[in-house]
Chains A and B, each alone.
Chain A
Amino acid sequence: MTKNILLVGVGGQGTILASKLLTLGLMQSGVDVKMSEIHGMSQRGGSVVSHIRYSDDKVYSSVVEKGSADILVAFEKMEALRYLDYLRKGAKVVVNDYEIPSMPIYSGLVEYPKGIIECLQRNADVVVIKANDEASTLGNAKAMNMVMLGTIIKLMNLEHIDWDSIIEQNVKPAYVQLNKQALARGMQLAE
Chain B
Amino acid sequence: MVDFIQNTLDGIFIGSSYALLAIGFTLIFGVMRRLNLSYGPSIMLGVFAGTLLYIQLNAGLLVVGLATVVGAVLAGLYVERICFWAVRRGAALASMVSSFAIWMQLEEAVTIVFPDRTYPFPPLADFTLKLGPFWVRGEHLIMFICASLLTILLHLLLYRTRFGLAIRAVSENPTAAKFMGINTGLVVMFAFALASVIGGVAGYLIASTDQQVTPLFGLWATFKGLIAMTLGGMGSIPGAIAGGLLLGVIEAQSVWYLGTEYRDLVAYAVLFAFLVFRPGGLFAQKSAMQSRLAARRV
Physical interaction between A and B: no
Question: Which B residues contact A (CB, under 8 angstroms)?
Answer: none
Question: Which A residues contact B (CB, under 8 angstroms)?
Answer: none
